[in-house]
A and B are shown apart, each in its own frame.
Chain A
Amino acid sequence: EVQLVESGGGLVKPGGSLRLSCAASGFTFNNYAMNWVRQAPGKGLEWVSSITHSSSHTYYADSVKGRFAISRDNAENSLFLQMNNLRADDSALYFCARETSGDFDYWGQGTLVTVSS
């Protein structure tokens, strides 16, 4: 069974940093691209970042470019999102999602990030 479990969310002050993790199991992690998608309270889904299976390519939404960094450890079946210089509008539930041929086929339950002073 495919499982994605996010962690690392919490309350952080504006300008602060957080590192999110996503532990994957139930599939061959290093065969799949992975993504972070966020959802602000009561709002729609927003794609944040993608990383290819071998980490050769990474992609970012304009809203996080230069502040967030996606990475992965295929030996540990883990995906990460380093978030720096956080702003209030980064507050959201952050999901990790597996990507198969361009489609988000499995999602975690999400980890909540709140940016507030």
Chain B
Amino acid sequence: QAGLTQPPSVSKDSRQTATLTCTGNSNNVGYQGASWLQQHQGHPPKLLSYKNNDRPSGVSERFSASRSGNTASLTITGLQPEDEADYYCVAWDTSLSGKVFGGGTKLTVL
């Protein structure tokens, strides 16, 4: 099952802004968008952004999602140490009739 493409790692200084990308095609990201999940080591994933780019209740305004064509992006402003985690995008793929995940991006906050 072909997945979405995410950079394996991103490193940014504290208080800076990080933009994570997720590239798919017209059958998945380009079709309905992608949602974003955050996973801290040893914990289950947590939904950060719905595929319509809205934030679930309780998620910080520092996290914002967007989409341009077949690429979804997650922007995290004012980076904090607790933002250090793995970030995954996920989308429905109409050609596969299933969900596809990105490989995940490990965000390091320096």
Counting CB contacts under 8 A, is B37 at the interface? yes
The answer to whether B1 and A63 touch across the interface, beta carbons within 8 angstroms, is: yes
Q: Among B1, B45, B92, B96, which residue has its beta carbon within 8 angstroms of that of A45?
A: B45
Counting CB contacts under 8 A, is A28 at the interface? no
The answer to whether A47 and B99 touch across the interface, beta carbons within 8 angstroms, is: yes
The answer to whether B47 and A45 touch across the interface, beta carbons within 8 angstroms, is: no
**Contact A45:B37 (CB < 8 A) given known A101-B50, A103-B47, A104-B47:** yes
| Interface SS of chain B | strand
Residues of A within 8 Å of B86, CB to CB, are 44
Counting CB contacts under 8 A, is B68 at the interface? no
From residue A37, how far is it (CB to closest CB) to chain B in Å?
8
Q: Among A45, A108, A110, which residue has its beta carbon within 8 angstroms of that of B101?
A: A45
User: Which residues of A come within 8 Å of B, CB atoms?
Assistant: 35, 37, 44-47, 50, 59-63, 95, 97, 101-110
The answer to whether B92 and A60 touch across the interface, beta carbons within 8 angstroms, is: no
The answer to whether B100 and A105 touch across the interface, beta carbons within 8 angstroms, is: no
**Contact A35:B103 (CB < 8 A) given known A103-B35, A104-B45:** no
From residue B39, how far is it (CB to closest CB) to chain A in Å?
8
Convert B30-42 into 0s and 1s, putting 1 for each residue whose CB lies closer than 8 angstroms to a CB of A: 0010010101000
Interface centre among B39, B45, B100 (most CB of A within 10 A): B45
Residues of A within 8 Å of B32, CB to CB, are 102
The answer to whether A105 and B47 touch across the interface, beta carbons within 8 angstroms, is: yes
Counting CB contacts under 8 A, is B46 at the interface? yes
